[in-house]
Amino acid sequence: MTEPLAFRGTDEAEAHALDANDPLATYRDRFHIPLQENAQQEARPVHYFCGNSLGLQPTAVRGYVEQELDDWRDLAVHAHFKGKTPWYSYHEVFEESGARLVGAKPGEVVMMNSLTVNLHLLMVSFYRPTADRYKILIENAAFPSDNYAVRSQIAFHGNDPADGVLIARPREGCRTIETDDILEIIETQGHEIALVMLGGVSYFTGQFFDLAKITAAAKAKGCAVGFDLAHAAGNLPLKLHEWGADFAAWCSYKYLNAGPGGIAGCFVHEDHASRVDLPRFAGWWGNDPSQRFKMHLMEDFVPHRVAEGWQLSNPSILSMAPLRASLDMFEEVGMDRLREKSLRLTGYLEHLLNAHGGSYEIITPLNAAERGCQLSIRITERAREVVDTLDQRGCVCDFREPDIMRVAPVPLYNSYYDVWVLASILGAHS
């Protein structure tokens, strides 16, 4: 990461040379890449830039899922304890890998439910409004689900969401939010803020917030801090434990490639994970596992004193199986090496876009420390036309009306050549 990112020019040969020297290039072969629809001769893979929305399918997924189908077929109820990976404790396979992924300690992470459900469950425990401290700080252009979740929590506690939500906004004429402005809100209004809940990486602008500084400032003011890491988990190295966030949640179908609606993740800091005094919505899977099957013989809920204590139901095995296939690769590569390639790959895209110059403007921070792999690009002329051309040329990108294209070169499976193709098409459009 210390090596400067020097790219020469815009020629295709350089893209191929970068691929040839890429130490992670072989991981691309461990994903299914859809084929272009209108390829003239031989079938060609698409240039996929939507890993921020739905990650590609790892080739190993089918084997993991089939194993569970086989265990269900052959063992039925006995698979809970006698399956290849017993279902009773299946979620425990993520104890180490899940923790490493977000910079947590084993016991602080559990995979369960889906993202918005987890946000709600965690807010039950960590959004504890009082008469003079009831506000929730979120970021401008937050993902709709987060916005709805936060507002409904405020209303649930009997307050008016219009008054209860505080929004950190970009400065006049800017697209992204200054960390200093977030810190300033916390400094001046922190005494009214019950919870700071930001997206780690903005789904829209791709901005990565300074979570360490924000957490420290919020904690100093006595606010609870939680993060939605939907666009950060598997995208950037995170240090949730060290930063001291109270909780976090993320989905696993974006950068974590666990398939549509895949099981989500949840972090509860060690300081809280073992607390039994926190209010929570309880279910049998959050109970101490040694007593879980005592069923009706045990009337009182005894929370498992780790993040798993926030589980409600027995989790979907068929939804956990694909995540294993993906996390195997994250374990092999490690977030640091992945980030190293990501900085180069996204840096290359930025370099090419600047070198070509065209009717577009990058709205994601240009400082690589303030972004993950995604670049959000505003198309300033005939946006629809360029989106159609990209589509015809086999580039899968995301377009948000009226003019924002979100492009995520994913270091596990995108090539420098993918990036080169995209940039040449954009560069030719002016």
Ligand X SMILES: *Cc1c(COP(=O)(O)O)cnc(C)c1O
In contact, 221 and 205? CB cutoff 8 Å: no
267 binds ligand X (CB under 6 A): no
115 binds ligand X (CB under 6 A): yes
CB of 116 to ligand X, least distance (A): 3
227 binds ligand X (CB under 6 A): no
In contact, 84 and 76? CB cutoff 8 Å: no
Q: Which amino acid is at 94?
A: F
Tell which positions 348-367 bind ligand X, by CB under 6 A. none
Judged by CB under 6 A, which stretch of 110-118, 204-212, 237-245, 412-420 contacts ligand X?
A: 110-118
In contact, 103 and 240? CB cutoff 8 Å: yes
CB of 247 to ligand X, least distance (A): 14
The secondary structure of 35-60 as a DSSP string is BPTT-SSS--B-EE-BTTTSPPEETT
Cβ nearer to ligand X, comparing 97 with 113? 113
Cβ nearer to ligand X, comparing 170 with 347? 170
Q: List, in sequence order, every beta strand (DSSP E) within 22-168.
A: 31-32, 47-48, 57-58, 109-111, 135-139, 165-168
| DSSP-assigned letter for residue 282 | -
CB of 88 to ligand X, least distance (A): 26
In whole angstroms, what is the distance from residue 209 CA to residue 218 CA?
A: 14
In whole angstroms, what is the distance from residue 271 CA to residue 274 CA?
A: 7
330 binds ligand X (CB under 6 A): no
Tell which positions 203-222 bind ligand X, by CB under 6 A. 203
CB of 376 to ligand X, least distance (A): 13
In contact, 119 and 177? CB cutoff 8 Å: no
95 binds ligand X (CB under 6 A): no
Alpha helices in 168-234 (DSSP H): 179-189, 211-220
**Of positions 218, 251, 383, 405, contacts ligand X by CB under 6 A:** 251
Tell which positions 187-206 bind ligand X, by CB under 6 A. 199, 203
Tell which positions 124-143 bind ligand X, by CB under 6 A. 143
CB of 111 to ligand X, least distance (A): 13
- Reduced to 3 states (helix: H, G, I; strand: E, B; else coil), residue 384 is helix
265 binds ligand X (CB under 6 A): no
153 binds ligand X (CB under 6 A): no
Torsion of Cα atoms, 196 then 245 then 327 then 17, to 10°? 80
**Of positions 47, 100, 105, 231, contacts ligand X by CB under 6 A:** 231
413 binds ligand X (CB under 6 A): no
Nearest residue to 89 via CA among 106, 74, 110: 110
Cα–Cα distances (Å) from 351 to 9, 175, 281, 355, in that order, read: 8, 20, 49, 6
168 binds ligand X (CB under 6 A): no
316 binds ligand X (CB under 6 A): no
| DSSP-assigned letter for residue 267 | E
36 binds ligand X (CB under 6 A): no
247 binds ligand X (CB under 6 A): no
In contact, 355 and 9? CB cutoff 8 Å: yes
230 binds ligand X (CB under 6 A): yes
**Of positions 116, 125, 364, 414, contacts ligand X by CB under 6 A:** 116
406 binds ligand X (CB under 6 A): no
61 binds ligand X (CB under 6 A): no
Cβ nearer to ligand X, comparing 106 with 261? 261
In whole angstroms, what is the distance from residue 350 CA to residue 416 CA?
A: 12
Judged by CB under 6 A, which stretch of 62-70, 161-169, 226-234, 359-367 contacts ligand X?
A: 226-234
Longest dimension (CA), the chain: 72
146 binds ligand X (CB under 6 A): yes
Beta bridge partners of 224: 195
CB of 331 to ligand X, least distance (A): 23
147 binds ligand X (CB under 6 A): no
**Of positions 10, 36, 67, 114, contacts ligand X by CB under 6 A:** 114
CB of 211 to ligand X, least distance (A): 14
Cα–Cα distances (Å) from 80 to 56, 88, 113, in that order, read: 29, 5, 19
48 binds ligand X (CB under 6 A): no
Site residues (CB under 6 A) for ligand X?
A: 114-116, 143, 145-146, 199, 203, 228, 230-231, 251
